[in-house]
Amino acid sequence: MSLFTDLKISRNLEKALADLGFEQTTPIQEKAFPIVMSGSDVVGIAQTGTGKTFAYLLPILNTLTFSKEIHPKVVILVPTRELVVQVVEETEKLAKYSGIRVLGVFGGKSMLRQKEALAKGTDVLVATPARLYDLILTKAVQLKQVKKLVIDEVDVMLDLGFRFQLINIFELLPQRRQNIMFSATMTDDIDIFIADFFKGVQKIAIAVSGTPLENIKQLGYATPNFYTKVNLLVHLLQNETEFHKVLVFVSSKRSADLLFKEMAEFFSEEICIIHSNKTQNYRLRSINQFDEGKNRILVTTDVMARGLDLQEISHVINFDTPVYPENYMHRIGRTGRAEKEGISILLYTPAETEYKEAIETLMGQEIPLKTLPDDVEIATKLTYDEQPKHRERENPLHINEEERGASFHEKSEKNKKQNQGGSYKRIIKKKYSKPKTRGDKNYAKRKKR
């Protein structure tokens, strides 16, 4: 690793980094800086927690100058509202002495207020794809001045269904621009995306896609069902000294609410929750309380797995095993940040075994398993999804004679007749049927007969 001063950055950036206490670059920052500065299209692959945000912000802000233009020169697209807030904060810290304007826009907030802010002008616009596209359609923002486009965590955007907005935004951008993309994983969808929209791409890979950070210790527990996982989690979190800041990931909003309800009985003052059905203010408040240490446990869906830089997380617990193995990589990347030690724990049921094996295949290594502690009760209670469902082998509407109730009776003969639309309609249809023409596919066959 080299020093930031070795990168030939501007005095304004040097002062901002000094205020933040940063001196040494990370490998992705060191490699990305000259390539982004060159103006080439860039795709960077590095594990979560290695400083990817600064890897694109530093070279962009190093060349960006003070302007009175209204429309943005730089657009940064991110998948979630929380990530918009974080990138705006990081940009403001680095642009502290340069006078560069930065603005964040995302759904869940008043579009009118965002239009008013855009009318005052900005140099860097950080946005979620859906809200940016809405603002473009209302002519609140124009992209004709954009020189650099950053796409952060594009795989999540594609997973969340933002492909339509992304493609339409690309169509509205100037042809001559620099495309910059960073992610922790590389998928086939992303390769296709790059082939369609990027030119002369230079790739930076600090690690093979799907490689976990070496300073994250991984382990797993095989459990029979949801409520046994709850019992195990309660048992583990009793140790407040070891589990002092814990991020718990679940697969859905329903699971998050159910787990939060069960855990709140034991950790009412220590636990908070985030998912997409919560209001933006509630979500931001939960993040701040967790980050500041007011809450020890945060239950969340994958909305928190990408990009957010939460400090000093001791454990990431995968309460539900993610269906997509790439999501596991992003989840565990919330701990072990800035080269500190972190621990990841995976809980899985027999139904989730194949997902665990897919994760191990992606990483190229197995997750060490531990046996359940003796005092963890094996639950007999099952969630609705875990309860066995009775399914008829045949069509359930097909009822045998012996299964018919006492009140069953056959329809009368006149009620068995089917409504054919009335005699007048049938007569008219027959009289004025469509004439046979050479355009009819069966005309030749009829003629031969």
Cα separation of the two ends of the chain: 87
Q: Do residues 156 and 62 make contact, with C-beta atoms less than 8 angstroms apart? A: no
User: 437 falls in which pLDDT band (50, 70, 90)?
Assistant: very low
372 vs 277, residue with greater confidence:
372
| Cα atoms in the Cβ-side hemisphere of radius 13 Å centred on 232 | 26
275 vs 17, residue with greater confidence:
17
Question: Model pTM greater than 0.75?
Answer: no
Examine the pLDDT at 226 and tell me if it is beyond 50.
Answer: yes
Q: Measure the CA–CA gap between 259 and 229, rounded to whole angstroms.
A: 10
The percent of residues in the chain predicted with pLDDT above 70, rounded, is 81
Segment among 112-121, 184-193, 230-239, 270-279 with least mean pLDDT: 184-193
Helix 226-237 and helix 253-267, axial crossing angle in degrees, nearest 10: 40
Element (H, E) at 299: strand 297-300
* Residue 401: per-residue pLDDT: 47
* Residue 443: per-residue pLDDT: 47
> Residue 213, SS3?
coil
Q: Do residues 163 and 129 make contact, with C-beta atoms less than 8 angstroms apart? A: no
Mean pLDDT of all residues in 242-249: 94
Q: What is the largest CA-CA distance in the chain?
A: 95
- The sign of the CA dihedral 253, 258, 261, 266 is negative
Which candidate, 154, 162, 161, places its Cα nearest to that of 180?
Answer: 154
Q: In the CATH hierarchy, which top-level class contains the domain 4-205?
A: alpha beta
Which candidate, 156, 365, 260, places its Cα nearest to that of 344?
Answer: 365
Q: 448: how many CB neighbours lie within 10 A of its CB?
A: 6
User: 439 falls in which pLDDT band (50, 70, 90)?
Assistant: very low
Q: Do residues 249 and 365 make contact, with C-beta atoms less than 8 angstroms apart? A: no
> Residue 69, SS3?
coil
- Which residue intervals of the chain bear CATH 3.40.50.300? 4-205, 216-370
Query: CB under 8 Å to 300, separation ≥6 — which residues?
Result: 247, 248, 249, 250, 256, 273, 274, 275
* Residue 19: per-residue pLDDT: 92
> Residue 234, SS3?
helix
pLDDT digits (tens, 9 = 90+) for 141-151: 999 999 999 99
Examine the pLDDT at 431 and tell me if it is beyond 80.
Answer: no
Q: Do residues 335 and 245 make contact, with C-beta atoms less than 8 angstroms apart? A: no
φ, ψ of residue 170 in degrees (nearest 5): -60, -40
* Residue 441: per-residue pLDDT: 44
Q: Do residues 181 and 154 make contact, with C-beta atoms less than 8 angstroms apart? A: yes
Q: Measure the CA–CA gap between 337 and 319, rounded to whole angstroms.
A: 21
Segment among 165-174, 217-226, 300-309 with least mean pLDDT: 300-309
pLDDT digits (tens, 9 = 90+) for 162-205: 888 888 898 899 988 999 988 777 777 778 878 888 888 888 87
The partner residues of 343 in beta bridges, in order of sequence, read 217, 315
Examine the pLDDT at 403 and tell me if it is beyond 70.
Answer: no
Segment among 98-102, 116-120, 417-421, 432-436 with least mean pLDDT: 432-436
Q: Measure the CA–CA gap between 345 and 219, rounded to whole angstroms.
A: 5
pLDDT digits (tens, 9 = 90+) for 41-96: 998 887 666 788 899 999 999 999 888 899 999 999 998 888 899 899 999 999 99
3-state helix, strand, coil in the chain (%, to 5): 40, 15, 45
Q: Measure the CA–CA gap between 75 and 127, rounded to whole angstroms.
A: 8
Examine the pLDDT at 358 and tell me if it is beyond 80.
Answer: yes
Q: Do residues 179 and 149 make contact, with C-beta atoms less than 8 angstroms apart? A: yes
Examine the pLDDT at 316 and tell me if it is beyond 50.
Answer: yes
424 vs 184, residue with greater confidence:
184
Examine the pLDDT at 344 and tell me if it is beyond 90.
Answer: yes
Q: Do residues 319 and 221 make contact, with C-beta atoms less than 8 angstroms apart? A: no
User: 302 falls in which pLDDT band (50, 70, 90)?
Assistant: confident
25 vs 349, residue with greater confidence:
349
Superfamily holding 216-370 = P-loop containing nucleotide triphosphate hydrolases (3.40.50.300)
When the pLDDT of each residue in the chain is averaged and rounded to a whole number, the result is 83
* Residue 264: per-residue pLDDT: 92
* Residue 336: per-residue pLDDT: 77
Mean pLDDT of all residues in 9-20: 92
Q: 275: how many CB neighbours lie within 10 A of its CB?
A: 20
* Residue 285: per-residue pLDDT: 87
Strands 216-222 and 369-370: what pairing? parallel
What value, to the nearest 5°, has the Cα angle with vertex 152 and ends 212 and 301?
65
Q: Measure the CA–CA gap between 359 and 365, rounded to whole angstroms.
A: 9
Query: CB under 8 Å to 2, separation ≥6 — which residues?
Result: 24, 25, 30
Query: CB under 8 Å to 294, separation ≥6 — which residues?
Result: none
* Residue 143: per-residue pLDDT: 94
Q: Do residues 115 and 136 make contact, with C-beta atoms less than 8 angstroms apart? A: no
Cα distances from 396 to residues 274, 388, 393, 407, in angstroms, run 41, 17, 8, 19
